[in-house]
Amino acid sequence: MKFLDTNVILRYLTKDDEAKAEACYQLFQRVKQGGEELFTCEAIVTEVVYVLSSPRAPYRLSHEEVSARLLPILTLRGLKLPQKRVYLRALDLYASSPFLDFEDALAVAHMEQRGMAEIISYDSDFDRVTGLQRVEP
C-alpha cells in the first residue's frame, strides 16, 4: 500500500499537465481494478477541495463541481481512508450547502456520525444547518 498525495489527485482532476494526468489515470485504473491499494487522510482530501474551490486558485469550481469530481476517487474500493463514510457525507453536505466550507461540512458529518446536535462556535454559517444548534462559549 502507498500513500496518495494531494498533487496526484489534482493532476488527475484538472488535467493541467496531460502526461501527469494520464499517469494518474492509469494509477486510478489499477486501484479500480484491484491491482493496487492506496491510503490517504483527511488533510489531503481537505486540501484538494480547497485548491479546486478557492477563488485564489485557477480552478474556482463550485461546491457541486468539486463534489462531482472527487466522489469517484473517494469511492474507489482500493482507496483506504479512515472514516470514509464521514468524508462522503461531508462531500454531500458541501455540494448541497454553498454557505459551508468543506471543513465545516466535515465537522457536521463528524457530528452526525456521533449523534451530536450542538456545536460551540462563533461561525454563524452553522445556524443554517438543519438539526444543528450553535452556541457560543
In a domain, 100, yes or no: yes
C-alpha cell at 104: 465545516
Residue 65 in domain: yes
Reading the chain (137 residues) residue by residue, the pLDDT tens digits are: 999 999 999 999 999 999 999 999 999 999 999 999 999 999 999 999 999 999 888 999 999 999 999 999 999 999 999 999 999 999 999 999 999 999 999 999 999 999 999 999 999 999 999 999 999 99
Per the structure, the count of domains in the chain is 1
Residue 136 maps to a domain: no
The pTM of this model reads: 0.92
Is residue 137 in some structural domain?
no
91 occurs within a structural domain: yes
Q: Which domain holds residue 79?
A: 2-131
Whether 108 is in a domain gets the answer yes
